[in-house]
Amino acid sequence: MSNIQDKVVIITGASSGIGEATAKELSSKGAKLVLAARREERLQKLQHDIQSHGGQAIYKVTDVTSVEQMEELASYTLKKFGKIDVLINNAGLMPNSFLYKRRVDDWNQMVDVNIKGVLYGIAAVLPSMRERKSGHIINLSSVAGHVVGAGSAVYAGTKFAVRAISEGLRKEEADNNIRSTIISPGMVKSELPESITDMEFKPVVEKMYERAIEAESIARAIAFAIEQPSNVAINEMLIRPTSQER
């Protein structure tokens, strides 16, 4: 039996890409899933797919930029399943552009989703995890959280922040048996490039993403981190396409 069996797992950004792939991977190992995203039709389809294969999944339409909605997501999970074993903070945006273009709305959106969304998720689940002295919070950073590229200054800033927050969480909650994991993907087939609003920059990124790896590769890494014994913490993984140099 997998150590993931019967664990209650919340996944934000579950409607596509890494979130969707992770939901299917964890369901195959017996997890009880709570799917969160803004697009209800996508959530309904994913729930149906999981249930049709014998898995357990519920969903709640959630905007991670709302602290109230994230609190409601945690409360909903506790009401339905009685516990929260794992939170996967996966929701993210990457509308990259050069700073001189002053795309302030894009900057604000990245800060709201990529940083505040992670913090709101942590705040929502920590009370119940601390009470149970058990839990696991997995935050999706990026290779951009390790290396800054031209055009990705703000996105990289948000992903560096995710790594800092995750490391602080690890140190603060180690005595409460709450594990912290940072997953830093390189180029992965997902909708991230679609969030780019700079039409000059977008083709450059799309060309780079021609060598992107499948989202299932990241899903397997997430499952690996979760299925370790509770006294083992996989704190950080950086996963690139073999051909990605930086």
Reported as a pLDDT band with limits 50, 70 and 90, residue 1 is low
Per-residue pLDDT, 2: 79
Asked if 209 is an active-site residue, the reply is: no
* Burial tier of 52 (Cβ tally within 10 Å: 0-12, 13-18, 19+): exposed
Among residues 76, 100, 120, 155, the one annotated as catalytic is 155
Residue ranges per structural domain of the chain:
8-238
Per-residue pLDDT, 80: 98
User: pLDDT per residue over 2-13, tens digit each?
Assistant: 799 999 999 999
pTM: 0.95
* Contact by Cβ (8 Å): 184, 237: yes
- Asked if pLDDT for residue 242 goes beyond 80, the answer is yes
Nearest to 14 by CA among 202, 222, 211, 205: 222
- Asked if pLDDT for residue 210 goes beyond 90, the answer is no
Per-residue pLDDT, 203: 84
Nearest to 40 by CA among 14, 65, 64: 14
Average pLDDT, the chain: 95
- What is the token pair recorded at 53? 């294969």
Percent of the chain whose predicted confidence (pLDDT) is above 70: 100
SS3 162: helix
CA distances from residue 223 to 30, 39, 161 in whole angstroms, order as listed: 11, 24, 23
Q: Which residues pair with 37 in a beta bridge?
A: 61
Q: 180: part of which helix (H) or strand (E)?
A: strand 178-185
**Side-chain half-sphere CA neighbours of 132 within 13 A:** 17
User: pLDDT per residue over 96-152, tens digit each?
Assistant: 999 999 999 999 999 999 999 999 999 999 999 999 999 999 999 999 999 999 999
Per-residue pLDDT, 75: 98
CATH code, 8-238: 3.40.50.720
50-75: average pLDDT: 98
